[in-house]
Structure 1
Amino acid sequence: MKLTGLKSIDNAHDDSVWAATWIPATDSRPSLLLTGSLDETVRLWRSEELVLRGTNTGHSHGVVSVSAHPSGAIAASASLDSFIRVFDVDSNSTIATLEAPPSEVWQIQFDPKGTTLAVAGGGSASIKLWDTSSWELIATLSIPCPEGAKPADKTSSKKFVLSVAWSPDGRRIACGSMDGTISIFDVAHAKFLHHLEGHFMPIRSLVYSPVDSRVLFSASDDAHVQMYDAEGKSLVAAMLGHTSWVLSVDVSPEGAAIATASSDWTLRLWDLSMRAAVQTMSNHTDHVWAVAFRPPGGTSERAGRLASVSEDRSISLYDCAGR
């Protein structure tokens, strides 16, 4: 795979852009790019030309995470105001507003079937699960301390939860904490399974391989990108290339490559067969906060696309060409 820059939009938001995801195509429209910013807004962009399609307002502080329902009909945003706003993509109308205590709303992600929204619970050291039909809280998955932890280490601040990811079969949830540990849960039984270790600084982003529910990728402030066998509790590969915090990781739809974003101002493409960075893109002039591969689907859409967003308020779009 090779990335080719297609288009960049400066001043896409009025402040830093911290979050990005793709809204899947529907029968009536192609996919859309969804971005969230410290300017308190969420914006929707046409996926081929990065033309602004709409702006969703209502948050009173910066937006730190966005997620799209697999149907493409609804999306959600999480903010430093401790609210999650759920809205209809086409009408831009609010469907639900979910409230949490301060510092308990960070990354959010819909499950693969769209029945549950998972919320990284921040200071509560937990993942909150919300039912998407009733928008009621249905479960709290709390993170236990690792076995053998010293009493001084058993504090909730150490387990401040920043990131969350669903496995593609919906059976597992992973979350990443400030202390560098990853926690794996059995969703059906609301049961903690085990920790994954290997990082020693905050884990900003997690993503499962779309082709193998055992494979999990992580991005950390320790500048490493790691690949785990999440079921076997083993570290498969530790990949180093960035020179500063790795803020986001996403995996290509066919599972052959990952893209990462960093505070070193670069985006890197990694070939998983080589387990090495094969390309570095330097479109941005500040921290690159998020990268997102466009999911397959949509009959009128061209080949693969990747988007990145930055502290410099810009959005960049790339073509992902196969070998």
Structure 2
Amino acid sequence: MDAGSRSISSGKSCAAAQRPLQEAGSRPYMPSLSTRNPSAKCYGDRFIPDRSAMDMDVAHYLLTEGKKDKENAAASPSKEAYRRLLAEKLLNNRTRILAFRNKPPEPENVFAADTVSSHQAKPAKQRRYIPQSAERTLDAPDLVDDYYLNLMDWGSSNVLSIALGDTMYLWDASSGSTSELVTVEEDNGPITSVSWAPDGRHLAIGLNSSDIQLWDTSSSRLLRTLKGVHESRVGSLAWNNNILTTGGMDGRIVNNDVRIRDHAVQTYQGHSQEVCGLKWSGSGQQLASGGNDNLLHIWDVSMASSMPSAGRNQWLHRLEDHTAAVKALAWCPFQSNLLATGGGGSDRCIKFWNTHTGACLNSVDTGSQVCSLLWNKNERELLSSHGFTQNQLTLWKYPSMVKMAELTGHTSRVLFMAQSPDGCTVASASADETLRFWNVFGTPEVAKPAPKASHTGMFNSSFAHIR
């Protein structure tokens, strides 16, 4: 509160209120106290006019009688004509104010036309049509109804792989043909996980016996079998260039360099139960792992490489927000540090994470078990597949998480989803033993050619002498 306000509340004298100005050496001219009106009140540094010296009767006469005298005075002819013209043209025709009689002339400058057209509002983008039924349905007999497994993947060569019991099938999306790659021995089966290498030619298969097989699908040839990596079944696989990361029921996560004989180069130990979800980020710098222990871990390559001994068990983030198994994992294609995760039946939530800080950005209760998640590569959308009770696919708008569509047709939980290389078609596999294809992410404007097999030579030379 300033000095003037304090003088009002404390009731100090007028001279005391002016003392700070005197001390500052800039005292303004003020009349002496003897010349002031005795009835004037002191309000510190505020000036409030006092009308006690005004003659109110004279003021009232000047405001009323003087106006009547002016009205009675004869107006000059020129003023009367101006008043009449003003009333006729303007005051009685107010609707014409700021209105054109005709359209304005077209601009003569050719550059002006270009400027106008360039600033015209762009037409609103039409909402994409989302078919409510699958465009194709295939039988998938003997599909294992197990939430913790990962039995389907769509490779960069546009070939879908799906494990049905002990047999691995390949469906070529370009021709629509189906072929059988391998039927494993009963003692090793069933197949528990599958993942395409980045080249779209080599396929990794995890088995219930804890073995991992590496296949060349172009020649249907078994190239290598990794043994002793895990103590029990291998339910999750993820590639990061030449590194094949495997997750087992023993809770271990192992990085395997397929180019060398001693392939196990790194081990992450953070889960106490089965690892059911593994996904590398697009940059290949971070690995997300989800387990049946309701835990989500973020592992960073730089931490492991800088601390080769301590980094074996060191995670970047240990996230405990989910209340059920964490299987559904999806890295965002347009924001490298954004991860979406889904929880099992007693959790039912989709959560979004900043993997740099470990912060949970949002959590959405979907009302049912979240089995898998896929991002739209062309739009800010997320697709989730669910279990009990609706067994549906739900398309969400990100980040508002408004439901855009719900796709129904499966009669049991939708355990697995895979995305075509162009990012538009989604395949869903359900415990109802059907495989359905949905045109949920639209049609690409320009068809993208399948990437070349850049690692083919590396794989061939690596597996040729290693068994």
TM-score range, shorter chain: 0.7 to 0.9
- 1:241 offset after TM fit, Å? 2.3
Query: Quick check: 1:83–1:105 contact (8 Å CA) kept in 2?
Result: yes
Cα displacement (A) at 1:293: 1.6
Q: 1:64 to 1:266 in 2, by over 3 A?
A: farther
C-alpha distance 314-51 of structure 1, shift in aligned 2 (>3 A) = farther
Aligned partner letter, 2:200: G
- Contact 1:85–1:94 (Cα < 8 Å) also in 2: yes
How far residue 87 of structure 1 moved from its aligned partner, in angstroms, is 0.6
1:3, distance to aligned residue in structure 2 (A): 4.1
AA partner of residue 61 (structure 1): G
- Residue 306 of structure 1 deviates from its aligned partner by 0.6
The structural deviation recorded for 1:2 is 5.3
User: Alignment partner for residue 57 of structure 1, among 178, 183, 198?
Assistant: 183
Name the SS of the counterpart of 2:412 in structure 1. coil
Alignment: residue pair count: 293
Assess if the C-alpha contact under 8 Å between 1:75 and 1:89 holds in 2.
yes
| Corresponding position of 1:40 | 166
Q: TM-score, normalised by structure 2?
A: 0.59
What is the match of residue 287 of structure 1? 413
The question of 1:239 aligning with 2:239 is answered no
Q: Hey, what's the Cα distance between the residues in 2 that align with 1:223 and 1:62? A: 28
State the TM-score, normalized to the length of structure 1.
0.83
User: How far, CA to CA, are the matches of 1:48 and 1:236 in structure 2?
Assistant: 39
Residue 289 of structure 1: CA displacement? 0.8
Deviations 1:148-174 (A, max 9, x none): xxxxxxxx34xx322111011001111
Q: Distance in 1 between matches of 2:302 and 2:154?
A: 27
Q: Compute the displacement of 1:50 (Å).
A: 4.5
Q: Select the residue among 86, 101, 106 that pairs with 2:235.
A: 106
1:176-235 CA-to-partner distances (Å, cap 9, x unmatched) read 122322111112432321112321111112121122220111121111111111112111
Aligned pair 1:139/2:266, yes or no? yes
277 and 78 in structure 1: CA distance in 2 versus 1, 3 angstrom threshold:
farther
**Which runs of structure 2 are paired with 1:242-257 in the superposition (5 Å)?**
242-243=367-368, 245-254=369-378, 256-257=380-381
For 2:407 and 2:194, the matched residues in 1 are separated by 23
Residue 161, structure 1, aligned to residue 266, structure 2? no
Distance in 2 (alpha carbons) for counterparts of 1:250 and 1:61: 28
Change in Cα spacing, 1:196 to 1:105, as seen in structure 2 (3 Å) is same
Which sections of structure 1, spanning at least 5 residues, go unmatched?
26-30, 145-155, 297-302
Identity %: 22
RMSD across aligned positions (CA): 2.2
1:258 and 2:382 matched? yes
Shift of 1:24: 0.6
User: What is residue 182 of structure 1 aligned with on the other side?
Assistant: 296
Shift of 1:252: 2.1
Cα 1:187/1:126, change in 2 over 3 Å:
farther
Q: Which runs of 5+ in 2 are unaligned?
A: 1-127, 305-310, 444-467
The equivalences for 1:15-94 within 5 A come to: 15-16=143-144, 19-25=151-157, 31-37=158-164, 39-47=165-173, 50-58=176-184, 60-94=188-222
Residue in 2 that maps onto 1:14: 142
- Structure with higher helix content: 2
Do 1:239 and 1:276's aligned partners in 2 also have CA atoms closer than 8 Å?
Answer: no
- Once structures 1 and 2 are overlaid, which stretch shifts more, 66-75 or 252-261? 252-261
Distance 1:317 1:181, change over 3 A: same
C-alpha distance in 1 between matches for 2:326 and 2:166 = 24
